[in-house]
Structure 1
Amino acid sequence: MEDNEMGLPALIYDVPTSFNTPLARSLYGIATPVIVILTILNNIMVVITMYTDPPKKGSASRVQHSAIACCNSLVGILQLPVLFYYFSGPSFPTNISKPWCGTLRILGFVLPHTIHTISMWQFVGLSMQRYLVFRFPFSCVTWYNIENMTKLVKIITCAGVVVNIPKFFDFKIIDFEENMASNDIAFDMNSTLSCRAEYRFVDGRQVYSLFTNWFMAVTVHIIPCVTLTVLYILLISAIYRNNTRRQNLSRNSRLGRRQAINQTIKESSVLVIMTLCLIVEIPSAIVRVGKLIFIQLDVTSGDGTSGEGNAIILTHFFTLLSYYFYVYIYLIMNYDFRTTFLSIVRKWRPA
């Protein structure tokens, strides 16, 4: 199967030497679990702070920020069992049971991809909402409220689940040990694993695979990245316009100028988060689309030194790593968030 955009070995059965196992083991068996756990702790603090911060308590943006934080945490949490089972040991496990084969398929690819889809579109929704609020601050009061933002989060979440539903049921687990034994075919269990996932159907398998891969590339990579890039440019213009207006209004007040600067820095935090998102998502989109157009191979195919497999592994790893830094962007650039966060830390600090 070709669902290898997550950077894991798509083939459980007969993982070839061309797959960069040392790189994957270093990143997935050691670094990623630590990053995921720290990201979970960070995002817990983000949600607590968002719902404790008095200016944010009535803010609709807290709903989308919290939804993104939850999605970013879930992408890593869901993959932890797979990462520990397949990459924490000195070698790939052998005699894998059918449940673990299905676990790799569901927790390694389907569910993380579903959550990543939701996260990307939640981020597009947040970026669009930020632009409209910054650019049209007076007219947005009619629709920009917690109830509408909650509805938007629910709609995006449901849409992300619906488009990925076929991936939960389009596969079956093939037991190669049982299949080969019944056909008197010998194989080495030291180098060959015992099962893999394959599509349930034979007719139209290639067409289905090509369609789903292009559909996911367009909906999860191309459209969100292009939309975020356009919104990024529009947000720069809107923030610059707001900053100019505030500076003109507060030119005779030192306190007013300081408040204007803090507000501009706060508004600019979304640009920094968008920059971080685009830095990891655009290379991922290029790798994904390039593989579909030029290579037509899965991550475990070809020469391991040629870079195709390494690129997918690295883009997947850096996507997970980027989620870790969101809380620090809030702390550095959002004065209200920083003040509330520090007050929470002081309350929890032992006497």
Structure 2
Amino acid sequence: MSGNGTDPSSLDVAYCVPSGKVFQGVYTQVHGYIALVICLLGSAANSVNIAVLSRKEMASSTNTILTGLAVADLLVMLDYIPFALHLYTGIGIAYNKNSYGWAVFVYFHSIFSQTFHTISIWLTITLAIWRFIAIKFPQKNRTLCNQKNTNIAIGVAYAVCPILCLPIYFAMNIQELNLSANENETISELDVMNSTTSDVTGERAYAIQMTENKDLLTAIFWIYSVFIKLIPCVVLSILSVLLILKMKSSDRRRQKLLKKSAITTNEGEKARLNDDGGKRGGGGRTDRTTRMLVALLGLFLATELPQALFGLLTAIAPHLFSICYYAFGEVMDLMALVGSAVNFVLYCSMSRQFRQTFTRLARKVLPLPRPNGEPLVPLKA
């Protein structure tokens, strides 16, 4: 692709060969089992998130967005479980991993997982924008971030993201492979997504191959790296900084009010200060919600920014895709899964309301100890 006559394969060697292939060969032996554990725990955690956040007493615009986020993350993990079993473990070894049916599933997985992960990304941005409006423009919060607008924003994310991912639909195709002795050695060099071969004798084998249309492939790399990954990371980085600055400003103001309240002897002034603190959105509770969101954004950036930079590198030098992407693709998948799985821990550690609602809900369906010492039996709903 270069205009100076340089052989792209020589550039591949400079970047990802042979260390990339060596790393992939070692890591893929354990990736499936690690991913399965994360997906199973994450699916359970996101199911709990949905159950808790959708409770009537938890109703708020923020929690509605978090519920939509949990649904997207849950679907990504449920989809990844059979994919990991199929490609990375020996659990389903009796099945032909290069059958047409498995090729169709991998094609579906590639589209489905990317679409709902993109929905998760843009809901995270929506959450950050909503929170920024809440603390920066509290007088407009009920108008701009009401339940109706929140539902519209979630609906737009679920409707537009599949369209944004539309080029991916046309970037892959299912092709029949001839698994001769010689070609078994070179299948992994192709742009094949389900390239795990099995002992196929006299049976047709199929795999997902990337399109040979270089312009379409380059466009997809740019859409993936810039619009789906990099722009959200930049936006969330800016919003995170603004939220942190606003929290620090609120802390300084609160400290000044407390000092002023401590030295004043005027009871009316004390009441006015207390009333002012209440009008500012619940004081500590508002700050806890904002801190939880900042932690959520930090987790998002930690898992998504490396993928964005890697995608940008691939967009700039597409010839690295077939070598570098497949060498580190499983690691990027794992980072995305971790980011989707740990939200439950974050909510429990930083939200008292979430913990209390979760405890009440758990006591209704599980034989947990009752505060008054009654027998350990599930309560009726």
What is the TM-score with the length of structure 2 in the denominator? 0.74
The 2-side partners of 1:167 and 1:295 are apart by 15
Unaligned ranges ≥5, structure 2: 1-19, 185-196, 263-269, 368-375, 377-381
Asked if structure 2 preserves the Cα contact closer than 8 Å seen for 1:247 and 1:260, the reply is no
Out of 221, 225, 237, the residue aligned to residue 233 of structure 2 is 225
Cα shift readout 1:111-162 (whole Å, capped 9, x = no counterpart): 1111111111111111011111111111222122111100001111111011
Which residue number corresponds to residue 347 of structure 2? 330
Asked if structure 1 preserves the Cα contact closer than 8 Å seen for 2:240 and 2:297, the reply is yes
Deviation at 1:22, TM superposition (A): 3.6
**Counterpart mapping for 1:242-281 below 5 A:** 242-249=250-257, 260-281=283-304
The 2-side partners of 1:264 and 1:186 are apart by 63
Deviation at 1:18, TM superposition (A): 5.6
Which residue number corresponds to residue 97 of structure 1? 99
Q: CA 1:244–1:51 in 2, change beyond 3 Å: closer, same or farther?
A: farther
Out of 307, 326, 331, the residue aligned to residue 284 of structure 1 is 307
Q: CA 1:248–1:47 in 2, change beyond 3 Å: closer, same or farther?
A: farther
The 1-side partners of 2:51 and 2:198 are apart by 48
Deviation at 1:17, TM superposition (A): 6.5
In the alignment, structure 1 residue 210 sits paired with structure 2 residue 214: no
The 2-side partners of 1:141 and 1:84 are apart by 46
Asked if structure 2 preserves the Cα contact closer than 8 Å seen for 1:284 and 1:312, the reply is no
Asked if structure 2 preserves the Cα contact closer than 8 Å seen for 1:78 and 1:112, the reply is yes
Q: SS at 2:73's partner residue?
A: helix
Asked if structure 2 preserves the Cα contact closer than 8 Å seen for 1:43 and 1:73, the reply is yes
Q: CA 1:98–1:49 in 2, change beyond 3 Å: closer, same or farther?
A: same
The 1-side partners of 2:107 and 2:121 are apart by 21
Q: CA 1:187–1:248 in 2, change beyond 3 Å: closer, same or farther?
A: closer
Mean alpha-carbon deviation: is it higher for 335-344 or for 227-236? 335-344
Which residue number corresponds to residue 266 of structure 2? none
The 1-side partners of 2:80 and 2:61 are apart by 30
The 1-side partners of 2:363 and 2:198 are apart by 55
In the alignment, structure 1 residue 195 sits paired with structure 2 residue 206: yes
Between structure 1 and structure 2, the one with the greater Rg is 2
Which residue number corresponds to residue 296 of structure 1? 319
Which residue number corresponds to residue 37 of structure 2? 34
The 2-side partners of 1:22 and 1:194 are apart by 25
What is the TM-score with the length of structure 1 in the denominator? 0.80
Deviation at 1:19, TM superposition (A): 7.4
Q: CA 1:341–1:216 in 2, change beyond 3 Å: closer, same or farther?
A: same
In the alignment, structure 1 residue 46 sits paired with structure 2 residue 46: no
Which residue number corresponds to residue 314 of structure 1? 331
Letter in structure 2 aligned against 1:277? F
Q: CA 1:98–1:340 in 2, change beyond 3 Å: closer, same or farther?
A: same
Which residue number corresponds to residue 187 of structure 2? none
The 2-side partners of 1:34 and 1:323 are apart by 13
Letter in structure 2 aligned against 1:100? W
Q: CA 1:49–1:124 in 2, change beyond 3 Å: closer, same or farther?
A: same
Q: SS at 2:321's partner residue?
A: coil
User: Bigger relative contact order, structure 1 or 2, given CA contacts below 8 A and separation 6+?
Assistant: 1
Letter in structure 2 aligned against 1:218? V
In the alignment, structure 1 residue 345 sits paired with structure 2 residue 353: no
Letter in structure 2 aligned against 1:38? L
Percent identical: 19
Q: SS at 2:207's partner residue?
A: strand
Asked if structure 1 preserves the Cα contact closer than 8 Å seen for 2:167 and 2:220, the reply is no
**Counterpart mapping for 1:97-246 below 5 A:** 97-107=99-109, 109-177=110-178, 194-198=205-209, 205-246=213-254
The 1-side partners of 2:170 and 2:151 are apart by 29
The 1-side partners of 2:332 and 2:97 are apart by 30
Asked if structure 2 preserves the Cα contact closer than 8 Å seen for 1:134 and 1:242, the reply is no
Letter in structure 2 aligned against 1:133? A
Cα shift readout 1:295-328 (whole Å, capped 9, x = no counterpart): 62235x27xxxxx655432232122112221111
Asked if structure 2 preserves the Cα contact closer than 8 Å seen for 1:122 and 1:156, the reply is yes
The 2-side partners of 1:44 and 1:95 are apart by 30
Deviation at 1:226, TM superposition (A): 0.5
